[in-house]
Amino acid sequence: MAGLGFIFIVLPISVTLFLLWILTKKKFFGIALIGMWVGMISLWILSAILQPFYAKKVLDKSDFYGEYVIDREYFAGNQADWQYNNFRFEIKENDSIYFYVTNGKIINETYKGTISTLAPYQSARLVIEMEKPTHHILTTNPTIYREIWDFFMVFNSPKFHNMYFRKGEWKEIE
């Protein structure tokens, strides 16, 4: 779409200003033409400099390593607190995943599996292969939602529907 804006807006205005400048020999049209182009180039440079502050994070495999807990702030409340105290997982650098069913600090069950990534797009997608039997939360791969500096995963559980996990260390709820 930017190409169409250039062809149908910027180029005709530039040609018109240039012709008016040449035909009338008034400085105003030349200054307007130069000012327009300096302004556009300045905006282009500024957007390139500021891109890290508004572009979403591009993920690779190493970004997935770490501990994950339920994101209690996304949908705050008793249900999120209960999920936070009962489910968490860890992805280790040897590409293994350990899903924990817990009761607070106490780990009641551990489900093991492996991870890999696909990169059909610029950012990697997580693929989880669990040993059988597995927990219902891990029957499908998560959907990854990227943010500017971070990301979170959403698992679609047949029992609990969407469960939001974010990288972080489990801490007791006060």
What mean pLDDT do residues 120-145 have?
90
Contact (CB, 8 A) for 96 and 113: yes
Give yes or no: residues 151 and 66 share one domain: yes
If you search the block for the tokens 């610029």, which residue do you land on?
A: 122
The pair phi, psi for residue 24, each rounded to 5°, is -95, -15
**The pLDDT of residue 52:** 85
Q: Rounded to an integer, what distance in angstroms lies between the CA atom of residue 104 and that of residue 127?
A: 27
Whether residue 2 is predicted with pLDDT greater than 80 in this model: the reply is no
Whether residue 171 is predicted with pLDDT greater than 60 in this model: the reply is yes
With respect to residue 173, please indicate whether it lies within any of the assigned structural domains.
no
Q: What is the tens place of the pLDDT at every residue in 55-74?
A: 888 898 999 999 999 999 88
If you search the block for the tokens 């501990």, which residue do you land on?
A: 67
Give yes or no: residues 116 and 76 share one domain: yes
Give yes or no: residues 44 and 68 share one domain: no
* 151-157 and 96-103 strand pairing: unpaired
Whether residue 1 is predicted with pLDDT greater than 70 in this model: the reply is no
Give yes or no: residues 155 and 106 share one domain: yes
- Neighbouring residues of 87: CB distance < 8 A, sequence distance ≥ 6: 70, 99, 100, 101, 102, 137, 163
Least confident of 6-10, 13-17, 125-129, 137-141: 6-10
> Which alpha helices (DSSP H) does 25-131 contain, by range?
27-50, 78-86
With respect to residue 77, please indicate whether it lies within any of the assigned structural domains.
yes
Task: Please provide the size of the chain in residues.
Answer: 174
Q: Rounded to an integer, what distance in angstroms lies between the CA atom of residue 102 and that of residue 86?
A: 4
State which of 53, 74, 92 marks the end of a domain: 53
The range of the structural domain enclosing residue 115 comes to: 61-167
Q: What is the tens place of the pLDDT at every residue in 14-27?
A: 999 999 999 999 99
Q: Which amino acid is at 168?
A: G
Q: Per the structure, how many domains does the chain have?
A: 2
If you search the block for the tokens 């033409």, which residue do you land on?
A: 33
Give yes or no: residues 48 and 72 share one domain: no
Token pair for 174: 């006060």
Give yes or no: residues 32 and 81 share one domain: no
Q: What is the tens place of the pLDDT at every residue in 70-109?
A: 999 888 889 999 999 999 999 999 999 999 999 989 999 9
